[in-house]
Structure 1
Amino acid sequence: MVCVNSHKHQERKRRASFAGSASAQSLLEKIKNGETVRIGFSNEVPWAYPGENNEPLGFVNAMTIDMLKKLGTTKVEPIVTEWGSLIPGLQAGRFDVITGGMYILPERCCNVLFAEPIVKATDALIVPKGNPENLHSYQDVHDKGPTFVTGAGYSEIELIHKLGVPDDKIMQVAGPAEILQAVKADRVAAGSGAYFTMKEFTDKDDSVELVPIGNSYYSGLAFLPNQQAEVDAFNAVLKDYIGSDEMMASVGKYGYTKATLSDGTTAAELCKR
């Protein structure tokens, strides 16, 4: 893993560690002492999202709650924020762990510690019915030059930047609902996000259709850089929990299947890519 501008990176880690040490208790201490654990996520159906009464829903939240029970607590407080505020919120001490289904990417590994992957997923485009621009990949977005929308802080931004898509062709919005709105309003030719989320839209709305993209990503829970003990504890629980009947019973209603399980790729390997 190579972090750009190592001096600034070390300063961010120092501040994040300070935020963690400034808290009254570490996450494991909170669990031991019966304190409430705050989980941070965005509104990303079906990964992690709030219910009508702000209850934590989605397959990542379901897994997290199961694992927290095994670690000794059922006391959970959901903190919902925009996707781009998840890592800054963790660093500022607003919550104890990110449960939003964040892709494990080298640039993110510079700012947080990831537990082992809990899902293998792909991206997808969402386009108007009939796919009038005939877009089937990020390369098509570059080659054909339409305006494209995705979420602020999403990994898709770096991917299309690497292909040479200019900033004036990239619309960044708060999250999935805004991506769908931009496509439906013909403000853009396509939007992009995680396959699960984009499929939710196309399953419920006949005016848009799904274009799967082959890129594979792995998601995991994210912690502060000084929380190796917490990562180790969650990983220990994951060994028996991942893929178990108990887990599948919790996540099946959100569309998670055995085919979505990680393939054994580790967080350490992903952070080096």
Structure 2
Amino acid sequence: MTKRCVQMLLLLGVVCLLVTGCGGTQQGNSTDGAGGQAGEAAGTGANMTVQPGTFQFAMSGMAKPYNYTDGENNLVGFDVEIATEISKRLGLEPVPVQTPWGSILQGLKAGKYDAIIGGMSITEERQQQVDFSQPYLIMQAVMFVNENNSKGIKGKEDLKGKVVGVVTASTYKDFALELVGPEGRVKEYETDLFAMQELKQEGRVDVVITDLGVGMDAIKNGNIPAMPVGEPLFLDECGIPVQKGNQELLDAVNKALDEMKQDGTYEAISKKWFNKNMLSPGNE
């Protein structure tokens, strides 16, 4: 064998060793890298929200003073301030999203936004579809009538055979159907304000069932000749729903709410909009 052949064989062996060594190193790095990335995602909450760095919360934008659009078409109100404060405590940019109430739950389930902060009642049916935070608001369902009240409605026992207006896809609908009976009728409206406006002309609806705060604001600012009657029909505990199984976001929202209640931020926002703590069922 010539000297040149020996040199070629030695060179080939070195190359083989290098290739084998790099292959082993690459396999090890690939495994470590995958594990590291998975751990990083779980630890930093990269998948907690639809769009990293933002907290997108949905509402109808038509439930004044909870959430509505101002003169510059910006979403404002109690819900918006609560949501913005939660975003701040999560270290995320707040992004309000206006969407029709009738399809708002489907939008959350489809991943169009991270949460709904718009006065959604916690019900067993909804809990099967989404995960709710602790209550952040207690709403009082009240009956409103035209100020003339020619039919003399004073309480829920007077609703049999009557026409009752409610907002669509609300907990008020099922309750109203029970009260009016087979001879009555329940009319649905896109918003509480639209329902309340029906009371301007007596006879279109006999009663509107809605939240006390929403109804009183409509009377005050919408020039509606209506008034509340009777005792509250029921109390609605409202939570913040997130997608089913998003425990990380749910825990973060609950933690933020706890902190807001403890340090007085929640009560300050609540009294700004309603002059009362909206987690208290009475008027104090």
Q: Under a length normalisation based on structure 1, what TM-score does the superposition of the two structures give?
A: 0.77
Q: Which residue of 2 aligns with 1:13?
A: none
Instruction: Identify the residue that residue 76 of structure 2 maps to in structure 1.
Output: 57
Match of residue 218, structure 2, among 180, 186, 201: 201
- Verify the 8 A CA contact 2:86 2:256 in the aligned structure 1: yes
1:158-214 superposed Cα distances (whole Å, 9 cap, x missing partner): 112334634961111101221022221331111111111011122333511122524
- Equivalent of 2:236 in 217, 221, 240: 217
Q: Are residues 94 and 251 of structure 1, via their aligned partners in 2, closer, same or farther at CA, if it must alter by over 3 Å?
A: same
Q: CA deviation at 1:262?
A: 5.3
Q: Which amino acid in 1 is paired with 2:76?
A: L
Residue 29 to residue 83, structure 1, CA distance change in 2 (3 Å): closer
Match of 1:184 in 2: 200
Is 1:26 the equivalent of 2:27? no
- Trace 1:31-46 onto structure 2 (pairs within 5 A): 33-34=52-53, 36-42=54-60, 43-46=62-65
Q: In the TM superposition, what is the alpha-carbon distance from 1:28 to its structure 2 partner?
A: 4.3
Does structure 1 conserve the Cα–Cα contact (< 8 Å) formed by 2:78 and 2:270?
A: yes
Percent identity over the alignment is: 22
Residue 58 of structure 2 contacts residue 118 of structure 2 at CA under 8 Å; is this kept in 1? yes
1:84 aligns with 2:82: no
Report matched runs for 1:11-22 at 5 Å: none
The aligned residue for residue 153 of structure 2 is 135
Q: After the TM superposition, which residues 64-143 of structure 1 pair with which residues of structure 2 at under 5 Å, given as runs?
A: 64-73=83-92, 75-142=93-160
- The CA distance in 2 between the partners of 1:243 and 1:166, in whole Å, is 48
Aligned amino acid, residue 199 of structure 2: V
Contact residue 117 and residue 262 of structure 1 kept, 8 A: no
Residue identity opposite 1:67 in structure 2: I
CA-atom RMSD in angstroms? 2.3
Q: Distance in 2 between matches of 1:54 and 1:26?
A: 31
Q: 1:152 to 1:214 in 2, by over 3 A?
A: closer
Name the larger-Rg structure: 2
CA distance, structure 2, for counterparts of residue 166 and residue 83 of structure 1: 27
Q: Is the 8 A contact 1:127 1:191 kept in 2?
A: yes
State how far apart, in whole Å, the 2-side matches of 1:165 and 1:58 are. 36
Distance 1:189 1:261 in 2: 30
The 8 Å contact of residues 121 and 218 in structure 1, kept in 2 or not, is answered as: yes
Match of 1:241 among 232, 237, 260: 260
Distance in 1, Cα, partners of 2:110 & 2:275? 31
User: Whole-Å Cα distance in 1 between the matches of residues 266 and 210 of structure 2?
Assistant: 25
**5+ residue gaps, structure 1:** 1-24, 264-273
Runs (4+) off by over 6 Å: none
Deviations 1:116-165 (CA, angstroms, capped at 9, x unpaired)? 001222111221113222223333212xx121111110101111233463
Per mean C-alpha deviation after superposition, the further-off stretch among 240-249 and 183-192 is 240-249
Q: How many residues align?
A: 232
Which ranges of structure 2 fall in alignment gaps of 5 or more residues? Answer: 1-45
Write the letter of the residue equivalent to 1:228. Answer: Q
Aligned: 1:228 with 2:244: no
Correspondent of 2:189 among 152, 164, 173: 173
3-state SS in 1 of match to 2:87:
helix
TM-score (norm 2): 0.74
**Cα distance change of structure 1 residues 55 and 131 upon mapping to structure 2, 3 Å threshold:** same
